[in-house]
Amino acid sequence: MSLWGQHDAPVTVIVAGPDAALFFDDAATNSPDGLRKRWSADAAWVLADTPENLILMLRKALRSGADISVLLPLVPMGTDEMAMRGEWKRWRQAVTRCAVRGAKPVPVYAAVYACLGGYGDTPAHLNSMDAAGVWPDSAITMRQAVKTVRASSARMPPRSNLLRERLALATLDWAAEAALLVAIEEIASTPPFFLAGLLLVDGGTAVPDSSAWARWITARTGLRLSIPSSCRVAPALPSLNVEPAQDDGGEPPIPPREVRPRKTRRSATLAGLFVAAVLLSGGFAYWQTHQEIRRMSEGVSRYEAVPQDRIFAKCDALLQITEDQREFKRRLAYGGIQSWLDELAGAREAEARMSAAIAAYRPPPTSLRMDTMTTFEPGNARVQRHTARRLLEPVAILLRANPDLRVRIVGHTDATGNPQENLLLSLARAQAVRDELMAMSGADPASFDVAGMGAAQPRGDNALPAGRALNRRVEVSLTPAASARFACDALQVNLGGLRMRSLAGELRQR
C-alpha cells in the first residue's frame, strides 16, 4: 500500500523541485491531508512543492520504513535562466542543510523534459537505468548519466526524426551549461539520497519560444523551434521501473549450536550485535563520506566543462566550488572521527584541486573602448569594418553565449568644432557600432542602449593633441540583467579582489 493514500501502489515517488507542480495540473487528487497525488500502474506520485515539504515527507517515510523514490524534473519553460538557477539553488541549499545521515538510502531520478513532437500522445524516453531495483552501490554521477543517455540514443535504430532527437539531447547540453544539472546532482547526492538515474523525456508541456532554452538553441543553430499543438498542458509522468524491496518471507536454516547457560548466551548475543552495529555504522558513514567527497570533487570537473564565455553559469559553478572548499576546510580543521573519515576518503586532495581551480579563474572582459580614429572614417560615422570586427568579435562571442546581457554603447568626441554637430556625430557613431555588433552577434535589439555624449565627458585635456585623441572614442559596456547580478556580486564578495577586467586593456596587449 502507498504511504500516502489507499491505492495499491507498490512504491511512492515524491515529485519535488521548482517544476514539480506542473505534473499535478490535471488528473491530480487533493486528499484530506492536503497532499496532491497521482497514481500510475507502478507507483503513487506525491507532490512536494517546497523543500520543507520534501524533508517532512522523507522523514515520515523513513520512520515508517516505506519504499520511496524521488523524482526531480526539469521542464525548460523559464524565460530567465538566472532565475531558474536561483530556484534550484534555493532547493539545494534547503535540502543540504537538512541532510539525514545513517538512514536507509533513497534513490533519486532526474528527468529533463522537452516537447518536440514526433510521437503523438506517447512520450519518448531515453534513460541511464539498465535495470530495476537500484541500490546505493549502483549510484552514478550526473556526468556518467548524461554519457549513458547519449549512448542509448546512439544505439537506437536510425529514424526520420533524427533532428528531433538531436534537439532533445541538446536540452541536456543547455541544462549542463546553465548549471542546472549541477544543482540537481547536489540535491540527489545529499544523504540519504543518491542519484540512481537520469531520464530525457520528449513529451509534455509546450516550451515557449521565449524560453531560455529556445533562445539558446536559436543562438547556436539558427533554428527556431516549432512546438506541436499536441503537447499536453501537464508533462507526462516518466516510467521509472522502480520496484520495492523484496522480502521472500522465509528464514534461513538455523544450524545446531552449543547449548550454553542463558546468561552467557544473552551476553554473547548482545556483544555480537554491538560489534555488528559498530561495523555497519562505520562502513555506512565511510560510504556516505566517500560519496559526498566524490560529488564535491566532480564539481570541479563540471566547472571546467562550462565554457569560459558562459559568464554567469561559470560564476555559479565557481561559487559552488568555493562553498564546498570552505566546508572541506571547516571539517578538516574540526578534528574527530568525521575529519578522519574525510582524510581517508581523499578530502585533502579534493580541497587542493578546488583551490587550484579558484586561483586559476579569470573573469572574461566586459568592457571595450574603441579609438574612433582607427574605427571610423574621418569626419563621419562610417565604420571601417575590418578594424571594427576585430575589436568587436570578443564582445559578440559573449553576447551569443549570454543572451541576458545588456549592452550600453556611448559615443564621445573632443571639443573641436560645433558642439551640436559633435553631439550628433557621437550618437551616429554609437549607433553604427550597435548595428555592427547586432549583425555579428544576432542579439536582440532591445538589449542595446545607445547614447551620444559629444564632448561632455572628456578623459583627457582637449588643449593637447594626445588628450583630444583620448576623448574621441566609443565605449561598449556589458552588464547583466537585474536578475543576473547576484552571481557576479556574490563572486566578488566570496573571492575578494576579482573584478571584470577591461577588454580595452587586453586588446592593447595584443
* Residue of 321, 328, 285, 325 whose CA lies nearest to 304: 321
Which residues are bridge partners to 197 per DSSP?
109
Amino acid identity, position 49: D
| Amino acid 433: pLDDT | 92
| C-beta of residue 372 within 8 angstroms of C-beta of residue 381 | no
Would you place residue 264 in the very low, low, confident or very high pLDDT band (cuts 50, 70, 90)?
very low
Find the mean pLDDT for residues 356-360. 84
Q: Mapping DSSP to helix (H, G, I), strand (E, B) and coil, where does residue 209 land? A: coil
| Amino acid 304: pLDDT | 82
| C-beta of residue 182 within 8 angstroms of C-beta of residue 96 | no
| C-beta of residue 314 within 8 angstroms of C-beta of residue 305 | no
The structure's pTM equals 0.55
| Amino acid 308: pLDDT | 76
Q: Which residues of 435-465 are buried (b: 16+ CB within 10 A; e: fewer)?
A: ebbbebbebeeebbebebbbbeebebeeeee
Q: Quote the CA–CA distance of 238 and 125 in Å, as a whole number.
A: 8
Domain chopping of the chain, boundaries: 12-221, 276-360, 367-508
| Strand 124-127 with 367-371, pairing | unpaired
* Residue of 288, 130, 151 whose CA lies nearest to 197: 130
| Amino acid 484: pLDDT | 45
| Amino acid 48: pLDDT | 92
What would the grid cell of residue 198 be? 537520469
What would the grid cell of residue 404 be? 541576458
Q: Quote the CA–CA distance of 499 and 492 in Å, as a whole number.
A: 7
| C-beta of residue 381 within 8 angstroms of C-beta of residue 449 | no
Residue 483 DSSP class: G
What would the grid cell of residue 173 be? 547540453
Task: Please name the helix (run of DSSP H) or strand (run of DSSP E) that holds residue 322, with its range, or none.
Answer: helix 311-334
Domain covering 367-508, topology: 60s Ribosomal Protein L30; Chain: A; (3.30.1330)
| Amino acid 312: pLDDT | 73
Would you place residue 411 in the very low, low, confident or very high pLDDT band (cuts 50, 70, 90)?
very high
| C-beta of residue 361 within 8 angstroms of C-beta of residue 325 | no
10 or 69: whose pLDDT is higher? Answer: 69
86 or 272: whose pLDDT is higher? Answer: 86
Residue 391 has pLDDT above 70, yes or no: yes
Determine which of 174-178, 248-252, 298-302, 322-326 has the lowest per-residue pLDDT on average.
248-252
What would the grid cell of residue 301 be? 570537473
| Amino acid 330: pLDDT | 72
| Amino acid 162: pLDDT | 62
| Amino acid 404: pLDDT | 74
Would you place residue 163 in the very low, low, confident or very high pLDDT band (cuts 50, 70, 90)?
low
CA angle centred on 272, ends 270 and 275, rounded to 5°: 110
Find the mean pLDDT for residues 491-499. 36
Would you place residue 399 in the very low, low, confident or very high pLDDT band (cuts 50, 70, 90)?
confident
| Amino acid 297: pLDDT | 72
* Residue of 164, 180, 159, 152 whose CA lies nearest to 123: 164
| Amino acid 299: pLDDT | 77
Determine which of 129-133, 134-138, 221-225, 402-406 has the lowest per-residue pLDDT on average.
129-133
| Amino acid 502: pLDDT | 34
